Amino acid sequence: MEDKTMKLMQHEVDAYISQFKEGYFSPLAMMARLTEEVGELAREVNHYYGEKPKKTTEKERTIEEELGDLLFVTICMANSLNIDLETAHNRVMEKFNTRDRDRWTRKEGEKAE
């Protein structure tokens, strides 16, 4: 499978959603879905790294699968609000590279970008 840009992922999700009459859910409904997906991710992380083992009756899911679900809903929300996630990513990286430039201890030989 080839690497996908964020633009391509946003287009792929839009093509999928656009085939249905219902289209995108409302922003509030998607916020609820995001919250639900974060909870499912937290549950999986707790199973793998915490003190709460899975019940024998629970479906086997992975952190990767839950992150994928979270990414899908994030892309849906961005698409419905006409937000370009590459632009959003670039803005947040600029923020971290300026505001938080000296916040953490750098590894030897690593320079601030």
pLDDT of residue 2: 82
Q: Supply 37's token pair.
A: 């997906």
Please give the CATH topology (third level) of the domain spanning 6-99: Helix Hairpins (1.10.287)
Give helix then strand counts, H and E, for the chain: 4, 0
pLDDT of residue 113: 65
pLDDT tens by residue, 75-97: 999 999 999 999 999 999 999 88
pLDDT of residue 112: 65
Q: Do 25 and 33 meet the contact criterion of CB atoms below 8 Å apart? A: yes
Torsion over CA: 97, 99, 101, 105 (sign) = negative
Taking the C-alpha atoms of residue 37 and residue 65, their distance in angstroms, rounded to an integer, is: 10
SS3 2: coil
pLDDT of residue 59: 75
Residues of the chain with pLDDT under 70: 112-113
Tell me, letter by letter, the H, E, C secondary structure of 38-53: HHHHHHHHHHHHCCCC
pLDDT of residue 102: 77
pLDDT of residue 18: 97
Residue 84 burial (CB count, 10 A):
13
pLDDT of residue 110: 72
